[in-house]
Amino acid sequence: MGQGLSCKVVQDEHGLFTAVQYGHLDIVNNLLLKDPSLIHQTTVYDRHSALHIAAANAQIEIVCLLLKNGSVNPDCLNRHKQTPLMLAAMHGKIACVEKLIEAKANILMFDSLNGRTCLHYAAYYGHSDCLEAILSAARTSHVAASWGFSRFVNIRDGKGATPLHLASRQRRSQCVHMLLDNGALVSASTGGYGFSGSTPLHLAARGGSIDCIRELLAWGADRLHRDASGRIPYLVALKHKNEACAALLNPSSAAPLVWPSPLKFISELNQDAKALLEQALMEANRAREKTILKGAGYSLQSPSHSDTGTVDDNTSEASETELCYICFDQVCTIEVQDCGHQMCAQCTLALCCHNKPDPTTASVTAPVCPFCRSNIARLVVAKVKVNDFDNDLDLYPSCKLPKLRKARNFSEGSSSFKGISGVSSFGKMVGRGSGKVSVDSECIDKS
């Protein structure tokens, strides 16, 4: 795959390709003025055009020159039916990707090596900026109209791999995140419909990236899915000696929190609110991972706030700001609409999140406001009451206040690892403090 685009090994009698590779605009210009037919010349073996070489080497001025008067087809093909756009995406040359897309390069071309598109290339090589550019082109171009955007996001290569499979295999967690966010199917199988194959989680287990595994699990990837050889991702991780990944993938380890289906693509979820929730979810899962990875199955680690020293129960500062009425631990950052009730991001998630449901009993119910039981129509970032705080109070990176703590933790009572599964991840996220929240508990209704 990774063909170098150096011209040294290539016959280049006019010096055109070398000039293109190194970005000598004047030379390229002069050569083309002298002999306009040169523009259609290709390298001998790989049959790269000048546009391929310019795009792969980020020679944006030359890309512009070649595309200028429509003299070069933006979708010209080399020996492997790769377009200049594929090469730019492969090498992460974002300016060239954008320029080619602007010149109407087709994002729906397949190479002859593995039947991959430019989206596969961006995902495989982990260039999330290029991935984003291609996705946004897909939203607006004819592709969306003729193919459908989500079909494009889940486009398969010759072996049935979607871009999400490739990004997971190659440890590209940022691309994994972006693809999931754009509707990539977390449970896609390389086997295609009705056939067993590998899921992105199998490939992440093989690649050994915990970050990718965390993203996939949070999106609801199934730890029990079997590939064509009947293996679950856990066994794949073991086989490839990715022990830490295996620990998280072990079906008997505590299950991670999963984005609640109603929140996954909810368009009403405003971006800031989503970022807060995402942060809360990932923090909760990281805490869970720590426990698992420490192999602390037999005695839960003492609570993470144990190192904060003694806490003054008379937290006068805290009373200045709205503390969440559910956990009494965090600042209210999320507002439920239309009722206007507020709570912290952690509690919002805990109310909406569930561990991956058992498909046989799954029932997705819309989340309701814990205070008034009305359906949650939208979640927005709560406006902070500004009294003696500065306007741009930096709540978001970590919205912790001094604890109002009458708290106990989970430390006792769960002497076995299995005993904490599920429950602990829920409780943990709700707050290190009270840990008393359950969706239906009376204490919520009282408030």
Buried b (16+ CB within 10 A) or exposed e, 17-35: bbbbbeebeebbeebbeee
Q: Tell the smallest beta-carbon distance from residue 335 to Zn ion (Å).
A: 10
Q: Tell the smallest beta-carbon distance from residue 341 to Zn ion (Å).
A: 4
Nearer of residues 262 and 419 to Zn ion, judged by Cβ: 262
Nearer of residues 58 and 339 to Zn ion, judged by Cβ: 339
Residue with tokens 């109310």: 351
Q: Tell the smallest beta-carbon distance from residue 381 to Zn ion (Å).
A: 15
Nearer of residues 104 and 400 to Zn ion, judged by Cβ: 400
> Of 174, 138, 170, 141, which Cα lies nearest the Cα of 154?
138
Residues in CB range of 27: below 8 A, 6 or more apart: 15, 19
Nearer of residues 220 and 370 to Zn ion, judged by Cβ: 370
Nearer of residues 198 and 330 to Zn ion, judged by Cβ: 330
Q: Tell the smallest beta-carbon distance from residue 258 to Zn ion (Å).
A: 19
Nearer of residues 318 and 339 to Zn ion, judged by Cβ: 339
Q: Tell the smallest beta-carbon distance from residue 385 to Zn ion (Å).
A: 17
> Of 393, 400, 397, which Cα lies nearest the Cα of 331?
400
Nearer of residues 177 and 432 to Zn ion, judged by Cβ: 432
**At 209, phi and psi to the nearest 5?**
-100, 115
Residues in CB range of 350: below 8 A, 6 or more apart: 426, 429, 430, 437, 439
Q: Tell the smallest beta-carbon distance from residue 424 to Zn ion (Å).
A: 17
| CB neighbours of residue 239 within 10 Å | 12
Site for Zn ion, rule CB under 5 A: 324, 326-327, 330, 339, 341, 344, 347, 369, 371-372
Helices (H), 170-265: 173-181, 200-207, 210-218, 233-239, 243-249, 261-264
Q: Tell the smallest beta-carbon distance from residue 111 to Zn ion (Å).
A: 50
DSSP string, 368-412: B-TTT--B--EEEEPPPP-SSS-TT---SS--B-S-------SSS
